Amino acid sequence: MTPKKAAVIIINWNGKKNVLSCLESLSRISSSPFGIIVVDNASWDGSPEVIKERFSDVRVIETGSNIGYGAACNLGALHALGQGYDYLYFSNNDILFHPDFLKRLVDRMGAEPDLGILGASVYHMDRPDEIQSLGLRFDRFHRIHNIEAIDGNATDGSFPVDSIMGGAFLMTREAFTQTSGFDPFYFMYFEEVDLCARTRGKGFRVATALDAVVWHQVYGSFDGDETPLSVYYRFRNHLLFLKKNRSKADYITYVAAGFAYVVPRKVLLSIKQKKGRLISACLKGWINGLTLMPIKHQ
C-alpha cells in the first residue's frame, strides 16, 4: 500500500528568524513522505527570498498582501490538495518539531479513521519539558481554557478536546474538503476553534495526540508579548464564534460573563501591567464583536 502523504503548511508574516528555525527543525523529521509549503503574507523582512535560497525543496506561496491566517491556510491547503496530499498539517512559524511528531500523527490518524483533526502536544520553547497546551475546552460560561494536563499517566493515544491549539495540528483531506476549510472572516485567532466546531458538525472527531510533540514560542509572531492587535482579535472573535456556532442562550451567557468578569479583568490587568494600549484594544474588540460595527484597531 502506498503510504499516505502529509503537507506541512507554515504561515509566515515577517518572521524570518522563526520560520528559518522552523524549517531547519523540519529537515530532521523522520516520517512518511511529506512536503513543505510556506505561505507568506506579504512579509517585508526578506523571508521569502531567504527561504527560497536556503530551502530549495520548500514551495513558497506569496500572497501579495496580508490576507490573514485562515485565508493563508486555505491557500496552502488548496495547493497541497491539488498536488495529491492526503493530510494537511497547519503550523505557525514559531514551532519546533520532535523528529517523529509527524509519523505519530499520521499513524494515529490511520488507526482512528473517524478523526478529522488531530492536534500535537505543545510544549514551551523556553521550558521544553513543560506542557503549554494539550488543546482547549469551554467552561459552562463558554469561556475558553487551555488544557495543560490530563488525569492519569497516559503517554500515547488521543483524547477528545473542544478545540486543538491553532498552528499545531493535522487535518484529513476529507475533513478539510467537507468543511471548506478556515473561515477567513476571523483574520487571526479563533479560526481553529471555529474549524473544530464545524469539523465535529460533519461527524468527525477532534482530539490531541499525547505522543506527538512540538515546541512553541508564546506570542512568537509578536516578539514574545501581547499586542493591541492580538488582544483586539481575541475579544472580537470569541463573540463572533459564539454567534456563529452556539445557541442564543450560550451567547447571552458568555456576554453576561464578559461584562461581569472577562472584560473588567483584562482592563484591571492591563492597568496593573501599565499596558494602557491593551485596554483600548480589548474594548474595541468587544464592541466590534457585539455590534459587528467596524472599529479601527492599531
Q: What is the C-alpha separation between 161 and 35, in angstroms, rounded?
A: 27
Q: What is the C-alpha separation between 132 and 125, in angstroms, rounded?
A: 9
pLDDT attached to residue 147: 93
Which CATH class for the 6-222 domain?
Answer: alpha beta
The one-letter amino acid at 55: F
pLDDT attached to residue 33: 75
Structural element, H or E, at residue 169: strand 168-172
Sequence-ordered list of residues with C-beta below 8 angstroms from that of 140, at least 6 positions apart, any chain: 253
Q: What is the C-alpha separation between 125 and 22, in angstroms, rounded?
A: 12
pLDDT digits (tens, 9 = 90+) for 222-231: 455 789 999 9
Query: Parallel, antiparallel, or unpaired for β 115-124 and 205-216?
Result: parallel
pLDDT attached to residue 298: 38
pLDDT-flagged residues of the chain (< 50): 222, 295-298
Q: What is the C-alpha separation between 122 and 246, in angstroms, rounded?
A: 27
In the block, cell 496552502 appears at 76
Query: CA nearest 52: which of 43, 130, 295?
Result: 43
Give how far Cα 246 sits from Cα of 15, 24, 241, 250, Å. Answer: 35, 41, 8, 6
Q: Which three cell numbers stand for residue 22?
A: 522552523
pLDDT attached to residue 295: 47
pLDDT digits (tens, 9 = 90+) for 15-52: 999 999 999 999 888 766 799 999 999 999 999 999 99
pLDDT attached to residue 296: 45
pTM, 2 dp: 0.91
Sequence-ordered list of residues with C-beta below 8 angstroms from that of 91, at least 6 positions apart, any chain: 8, 9, 10, 11, 22, 167, 168
Structural domain spans, the chain? 6-222, 228-291
Q: Which residues pair with 62 in a beta bridge?
A: 40
